[in-house]
Structure 1
Amino acid sequence: MRLVIATCSVDYDGRLSAHLPLATRLLMVKADGSVLVHSDGGSYKPLNWMSPPCAMAELAPREHEVELGVTAVWQVQHTRSEDRLRVLIHDVLHDSSHALGVDPGLVKDGVEAHLQKLLAEHIHTLGSGYTLVRREYMTAIGPVDILCKDPGGASVAVEIKRRGDIDGVEQLTRYLELMNRDPHLAPVTGVFAAQEIKPQARTLALDRGIRCVTLDYDELKGIDNSEHRLF
């Protein structure tokens, strides 16, 4: 992984356009080719990014860019679309590379892991006509618990928690933003599934167009429990 702290501006062009004005930011270049732009706030979510497959080139700035103080240009081009990220670097405060090795992945809580397995085996729990694509669908920022198709054949990303809170909704939102940039998957909708979903998390999810599903652990195991239902 390469970590660069630099004063820079960033432009994203493609299916959407976005501009980040000049400021000091953290630029991350991962071994999988992804490039992420972070600020010193906003928790784990990058301000902008390019997910693989993509190619990054470091270019000399154009004449008018030199006049504005630009010393280097990162141009990141997605290889399957016209999406392009262009980072104009003015000053570099830090530049280092670190070999992190192979990550063993997230070790889930036993109940969450079992919920994921059970829901994948009984994907119709989400509704009639749903079909499983795969568990642990890998993205550039981590695995989505379940990727499935709705009755119309559209992609659905499912994030599973034992207790669903706002952080879980934010996590799923990040996955959806990334996956919807992939023309082979888009449009992708989201399902936030948990044994218990906090009211604030449900409100945030619904506001972002994410469906909430309350899972009954006993029911998924085949035990009839009339006290809990799937909503």
Structure 2
Amino acid sequence: MRLVVARCAVDYTGRLTAHLPLAPRLLIVKADGSVLVHSDGGSYKPLNWMSPPCTLRTQARSPEEAALDPDDAWVEEWDVVHAKSGDRLRVRLHEILEDSSHELGIDPGLQKDGVEAHLQALLAENIETLGAGWSLVRREYGTAIGPVDILARDPDGAAVAIEIKRRGEIDGVEQLTRYLELLNRDPLLAPVRGIFAAQAIKPQAKVLAVDRGITCVTLDYDALRGIDDAESRLF
């Protein structure tokens, strides 16, 4: 990754045209070829950018060019062209304040707290969250169309398939419906009912779940981790 702080002017041409007048900015050139132009405000969003695939060509200004146009005192020009659309980003650097390059290597990716795998593990460890007398049969219970997050048994011994999402939407209800149709063909399990569990469930998903006889359960991630004691809260 190359980081350049410079006084620069930027022109974009393509589906539209845009111009950034001369000002100090941060220019980022990433290993994937993308080029981003940032100001010192505006949160994370760049003022302009070019996403890959694109090519970057740089050239220093020659004395002859400077003599032809002494009023436009740029010292280096970046020409960024998108390989497919032909869109062009031209950056003229008038003064380079900082210029550094860093090898970051392969990023391991964002590891989110509270993702579905964590919720699944926590609910399996605390299956009694669903009520007294519940028992865990298996996590990732295999079927011909994919694994059911949790297969459990309620206090009466009936099989229950549990689908877990961070945010419960209609697609999740449809997925659980398909699992239930398949599981209920197994005479050793049938009848199997379903629970759709998530940290938040959209109203439309709740309506569809209830219509199909599926119970909706809202999961409290902190309570499952033992951080938040719901009984000690005032509200």
Paired position in structure 1 for 2:49: 49
- Contact 2:27 2:37 survives alignment (8 Å): yes
Alignment equivalent of 1:79, drawn from 79, 83, 101: 83
Counterpart secondary structure, 1:108: coil
Count, aligned residues: 144
Query: Match for 1:106: what amino acid?
Result: L
User: How far does residue 123 in structure 1 lie from its aligned partner after superposition?
Assistant: 9.2
Structure 2: where are the runs of 5+ without partners? 118-163, 176-197, 219-235
Larger radius of gyration: 2
Instruction: For 1:49-198, list aligned pairs within 5 A.
Output: 49-61=49-61, 62-63=65-66, 67-111=71-115, 115=165, 122=172, 195=200
User: How far does residue 89 in structure 1 lie from its aligned partner after superposition?
Assistant: 0.4
Q: 1:92 to 1:196 in 2, by over 3 A?
A: farther
User: How far does residue 109 in structure 1 lie from its aligned partner after superposition?
Assistant: 2.8
Quote the RMSD (CA, aligned, Å).
3.8
Q: 1:59 to 1:215 in 2, by over 3 A?
A: farther
Structure 1: where are the runs of 5+ without partners? 126-161, 164-194, 198-212
Query: Match for 2:33: what amino acid?
Result: G
Identical-pair percentage = 53
Query: Match for 1:17: what amino acid?
Result: T
Query: Match for 1:10: what amino acid?
Result: V
User: How far does residue 17 in structure 1 lie from its aligned partner after superposition?
Assistant: 1.2
Paired position in structure 1 for 2:2: 2
Counterpart secondary structure, 2:165: helix
User: How far does residue 121 in structure 1 lie from its aligned partner after superposition?
Assistant: 6.4
Paired position in structure 2 for 1:224: 214
Q: 1:226 to 1:116 in 2, by over 3 A?
A: closer
- Contact 2:25 2:40 survives alignment (8 Å): yes
CA distance in 1, matches of 2:205, 2:73: 55
